[in-house]
Structure 1
Amino acid sequence: MIVRFAIILVLTYLSFAHADFNPEHKLTGKTILVSKIRKNWFDALDYCKNKGMTLATVRGRRENRELTNALRNSPAATHHWIGGIRHPNENFYRWIHNNNKIETTGYTNWQPGEPNFGRGIELCMEYWNDPKKKIEWKWNDNDCKQEQIFVCEKRD
């Protein structure tokens, strides 16, 4: 009886251990987790760090394609936080994991007209997918306080 209870307890723990995420996706050079919960950008970053990960980054066209293909199977959401941020006193975005300017990677995927530092408060980077507006998995800047789905990654 005690063994059966212990097994049930372990299985219950394992089922809830990743309840906040969809199954992980193995991409070229990294593993990603897409959240099922919504957090603001900073809380999402902390959440990823507590999992031994960081918010997702994109190093090129192939990686962008792989990542957006994985997101197509995620919860129905139009906005997903990723790991780019702008300091209010700068005119460019940086990847949070290495502080490099995004533009220096040689690849960007901004929605036309973005980033626009909208309302003077849009400092955090997201994937934006809104087929009704004919926006398909483009980068956008948004207010960091918005609570939305997020993507964590761990590089191999």
Structure 2
Amino acid sequence: MKQFLILAIIVLSIAQIVARPVEYSDGNDDVLAPEPEPTEIPIGKYLLFTTKANWIEATKQCRSKNMKLISILSEEDNDNVVKVIKAAGEGRIGFWTSGNRRKTNGVYFWGNEKKITYTNWEAGKPDNVRSNNGEEEQCIEIMGLNILKWNYRFCSNELYFICEEPHESIDETQPISLLFAQQILTVQMFGYYENNENEEVLTPEPEPEPLYDLVKKYHIFTTRVSWADAMRHCQSEGLQLVNILSKEDNDNVIQAIKDANQGEIGFWTSGSRTNNNGTYVWGNGQPLTFTDWENGVPDNLHAHTGYGQEECIELKGYHILKWNDHLCSYRLYYICEENTKQNLFSK
């Protein structure tokens, strides 16, 4: 009985050691921390990234590793990719592939310019949902929730992604092209003709130009004008009164104001509801999807005091820099924006 008790204690001690989480020292022996989870998981020719990125960023990160976002050319490729995801203990969050649907004739392509022939869509997909700002679902993911079937997503969504060593047939000089959330300009087009067997054949037209980001540059004006005069002045300079379409835009505009040591006086944006039945839109016609209103606004305050309707959006002064609805006739500083093209893959 005594020997059995000693054996049980030894087994329990070993189990506790095995179950103990891996620890590492950061140079201070008094401080131990769990070993960080890997964000890059190499398995065979694949490299899984378990940090989230949009489709464009995923493509760029793969290229920075001299790899490609995965193309799934056959059932064997698909089975291998699914096995790799499961082997990494992943599947709850979706993974980007290189597949996308070009604006020309809605044809599906992989990032290596091969037309998609084998498919493994989830039932009812692709369904091509369109967002309020006009973005279409154009990029192919391997679905999360451990479904691991193909699905179409907005290319601006952030997912995990998988890079692979390039297939020998990939032409590394070919750029990848798609329309991305109205932030990406592409001029790569393809034509089609029919051969003698009436089979559709893809034929490249003139040398494609590369994919570009539209990079915003801000011009801050510290003369006080009405909203309409701010709009006119920006247009006279070949610019436009600032549109804030996302949190990233908002953060960048606020940083530009701070960099210019401004903020005491408010700044006009292009947002207004003057010609849209009471609904706020930006100067480029897009609806407000992201907002950063000051607490309690929009409140149309001046309408209650007889001064008129507050129908234009300012970035509020007094260094608050939250959104506020204001009389369009009020005189504020203003910000014009300039969109410049930057080659996506030369950054």
TM-score interval (norm. to shorter): 0.7 to 0.9
Residue 229 of structure 2 corresponds to which residue in structure 1? Answer: none
Consecutive unaligned residues of structure 1, counting only runs of 5 or more, are 1-7, 9-15
Residue 122 of structure 2 corresponds to which residue in structure 1? Answer: 111
Matches within 5 A, 1:9-88: 20-22=39-41, 24-26=42-44, 31-72=45-86, 73-75=88-90, 77-88=92-103
Higher relative contact order (CA 8 A, sep 6+): 1
Give distance in 2, aligned partners of 1:109 and 1:86: 15
Out of 163, 168, 173, the residue aligned to residue 152 of structure 1 is 163
CA contact (8 A) 2:68 2:166 kept: no
Cα 1:76–1:113 change in 2 (3 A) is: closer
Give distance in 2, aligned partners of 1:108 and 1:46: 24
Give distance in 2, aligned partners of 1:137 and 1:76: 7
Consecutive unaligned residues of structure 2, counting only runs of 5 or more, are 1-26, 28-35, 168-347
1:90 Cα deviation from its structure 2 partner = 2.6
Show CA shifts across 1:41-69 (max 9, x none): 00000000010011001121122111101
Show CA shifts across 1:87-106 (max 9, x none): 13332210012x12102xxx
Give distance in 2, aligned partners of 1:130 and 1:77: 4
Q: Which has the larger radius of gyration?
A: 2
CA contact (8 A) 1:128 1:137 kept: yes
1:76 Cα deviation from its structure 2 partner = 5.1
Amino acid at match of 1:78: I
Out of 86, 91, 95, the residue aligned to residue 106 of structure 2 is 91
Q: Give TM-score, length-normalised by structure 2.
A: 0.34
Out of 116, 122, 132, the residue aligned to residue 102 of structure 1 is 116
Out of 121, 135, 139, the residue aligned to residue 124 of structure 1 is 139
Structure (1/2) with the larger helix percentage = 1
Give distance in 2, aligned partners of 1:75 and 1:62: 20
1:154 Cα deviation from its structure 2 partner = 0.5
Give distance in 1, aligned partners of 2:127 and 2:40: 30
Identical positions, percent: 27
Following superposition, which runs of at least 4 residues in structure 1 exceed 4 angstroms of deviation? Answer: none
- Aligned residue pairs total 127
